[in-house]
Amino acid sequence: MSRSKVKESTLVKYTGIIEKHIKPKLGELPVEELTSVAVEQFSYEALHTLKLAPKTVRDILTVLSSVLEYARRQYNGKLQSVDIVFPKEKHSDIRVLSPEEQRQFVEYLCTDMDECRFGVLLALMTGLRIGEVCALRWKDISLSAGIISVSATMQRLRDMENGGTHVVISDTKSSTSNCVIPMTEQTLALCRRFAVRDGGAYVLTGSRNYIEPRVLQYRLKTYTDACGLKDVHFHVLRHTFATRCVEAGFEIKSLSEVLGHSSPRITLERYVHPSMELKRSNMDKLVFQGVLSPS
């Protein structure tokens, strides 16, 4: 794995997978004995014995596939081909704030609002990820154009050289995550209220000091606890934003671009949770000619 070809966060993630999962189970096995059967057994144990999530196992197998491809190149293609079957991901129901919960939460944030509460509300109103909110500076918000330009994210990563962890501000998770979000009049008014002249100041603090994701997640919990809301982590705000957009009739491709997704399919599969009321409203739009109307 070349350090120069991947982001630091990716390198840390892949190294962790190798050290925690691949080496303990397969590290002592000669590369010539890494067969399709051995990999299938490895995958089965990860899913059913260790009870790892399908997404985690897919990540592990992706790294293992890269390792095996590298080994084949070193052996000039003489190693046998290994078939890897990736488990299907099961998308469980994601927590979404109901309209009443959202109203209650927004009212709470707007009471004695400070920069941090403003940042949380901004995420709910735009779908920003927690790392993107933490990395957002006032230079990224154009009050004249009414847009937010998302180009950076903040993470706390393991320090591979010295141990411990450190905060890293880097490019967003992918090129499609670099997006421009048009603001509503409500969002723009809030931004005007909290804007500072220093473009390098972080939105969450109004200064050059930042709030990192785990601190913001902790503060979010204090806010939701005060409202009596259960099981609300930061990504719930993103899911809620996407759901409200669909309920309002938002065009999916545009929503996908606002969320920074690589395709509308991801938006539909993972982030859109239409209510029964919306489903019924859409069904009521159907008209079948020749069918008698109810008397």
Q: Tell me which H or E stretch contains 203.
A: none
Write the burial class of residue 203 (CB in 10 Å: 0-12 exposed, 13-18 middle, 19+ buried).
buried
Q: pTM of the predicted model, to two decimals?
A: 0.72
- Is residue 223 within 8 A of residue 108, CB to CB? The reply is yes
Q: Own/partner pairs for 245-252, CB < 8 Å, 24+ apart?
A: 245/127, 246/272, 246/274, 246/278, 247/274, 247/275, 247/278
Domains and CATH numbers, the chain: 3-74 (no CATH), 99-277 (1.10.443.10)
β-pair partners for 155: 168
**CA distance linking residue 279 with residue 282, whole number of Å:** 5
Q: Encoding tokens for residue 89?
A: 């991901």
- Is residue 120 within 8 A of residue 223, CB to CB? The reply is yes
pLDDT at 276: 63
Burial 88-98 (b: 16+ CB within 10 A, else e): eeeeeebbbbe
* Cα angle, residue 239 at apex, residues 200 and 96 outer, rounded to 5°: 130
pLDDT at 17: 87
Sign of the Cα torsion 96, 102, 108, 109 reads positive
| Amino acid symbol at 111 | T
- Is residue 206 within 8 A of residue 194, CB to CB? The reply is yes
pLDDT in tens, the chain (295 residues): 555 556 777 778 888 888 888 888 888 888 777 888 888 888 888 888 888 888 888 888 888 888 888 888 888 767 778 888 888 766 667 789 999 999 999 999 999 999 999 999 999 999 999 999 999 999 999 999 999 999 899 988 877 677 788 888 888 765 556 788 999 999 999 999 999 999 999 999 999 999 999 999 999 999 999 999 999 999 999 999 988 888 888 888 888 888 887 777 777 767 665 566 666 666 677 766 666 655 5
pLDDT at 54: 85
- Is residue 124 within 8 A of residue 240, CB to CB? The reply is yes
